[in-house]
Amino acid sequence: MSHSTNYRTTLITVAADCAALLSAPPAKPGTVAGMQYEMLSARPYELTSDELLRAVEQARKGADAAARLFDKPQACLRASPLVKQYGFGLHHAAEARVALVPLESDEYARLLADPEVKKRPGMRSSRK
């Protein structure tokens, strides 16, 4: 059975306990956050969440690990360090393709106010 992390017409909002007041790119390029940021900033609305997670897994652990990634349920992008630490929302368009949306941007405010866009909160880094 294959599991999916894709959302449609959904904004994953910046986590409630994210300290960032403005979005900022991750400082370390080889990290999960760095790779997700590089791929999404270079290719907005080209990758689905599943494709992004698989590409990062392949870059980190190889093709075999990437091929087996969805054999078991995976954390979706609500757990991404981009929403937990770096001040980015993640917009999933109607066809499930993902783009970065900086917290301070007009686009983030527009998506947040749009009743047609589902909102899913980024996961907190710590328990309340």
Residue 35 lies in a domain: yes
Is the predicted pLDDT of residue 53 greater than 80, yes or no? yes
Number of domains in the chain: 1
In a domain, 115, yes or no: yes
1 assigned to some structural domain: no
Q: What is the pLDDT of residue 86?
A: 97
* pLDDT tens digits along 57-114: 888 887 877 778 777 777 789 999 999 999 999 999 999 999 999 999 999 999 999 9
Model-level pTM?
0.90
The answer to the question of residue 91 being in a domain is yes
Q: Encode pLDDT of 115-128 as tens digits.
A: 999 999 999 887 65
Residue 113 is part of which domain span? 10-121
d(CA 82, CA 52): 13
Strand 118-121, strand 10-13: pairing: parallel
